[in-house]
Amino acid sequence: MDRFALFSECLLAGVWIAVAALPVLTFPAAFAAGTRHLRRYLDGEQGGLREFAADVRAAARGGWIVGAAVCAAAALLLLDLAAVRAGLPGGPLVGAVGILAMIGLLVAVLRAASCWEPGALWRPLLAEAGRNTVRDPAGSLLLVCGMAVVVLSGALVLPLAVPVLGAVAAAATAVRARRPAH
């Protein structure tokens, strides 16, 4: 397989994920469709924008609730960080726990999205992803590093964060593919 073609497919998937995730609540569905697109590409199956859009619509049926939960968790984290800045007793500890919990939640959501197939329910996917987040610390660290690259890329050159999302989708696909070996 041509490695540059795979790299370009990852970048394209990142752009598609970013566009589909603009309504924020659709981020899990967009990521699920992006990882499914990459799995189709790696398996040599036909897939393009039309299939990606169909996957986003199918994944969004239950995925928007996951997106809303992530947004609610982010709001709680912002509240925790406001307590840290206000100098409340125990604030730094609560802030650190909040940040770690948010990172764990995001890793579990990325793992669940990478396992999504049409017709799959999000609740069992998230339960299994939560277990795998703890059982496979190397895979979880890979996803944390991928998210860090997106954040740092966005901090340096904002438009660069868009295609880098495809690299995180590729990382999630790789973590999913290596999971049965354990």
Q: What is the pLDDT of residue 182?
A: 46
- Mean pLDDT, residues 130-136: 93
The H-or-E segment that residue 154 falls in is helix 137-156
Tell whether the model's pLDDT for residue 57 goes beyond 70: yes
Cβ atoms 63, 119 nearer than 8 A: no
pLDDT at 83: 84
The percent of residues in the chain predicted with pLDDT above 70, rounded, is: 97
Q: Is the pLDDT of residue 128 over 90?
A: yes
Residue 88 confidence (pLDDT) above 90: no
pLDDT in tens, 135-164: 999 999 999 999 999 999 989 998 888 999
**CA distance linking residue 113 with residue 29, whole number of Å:** 7
Average pLDDT over residues 79-98: 87
pLDDT band at residue 91 using 50, 70 and 90 as cut-offs: confident
pLDDT average, residue stretch 35-40: 94
Does 179 have pLDDT greater than 70?
A: no
- Kindly state the average pLDDT of the residues 5-16: 91
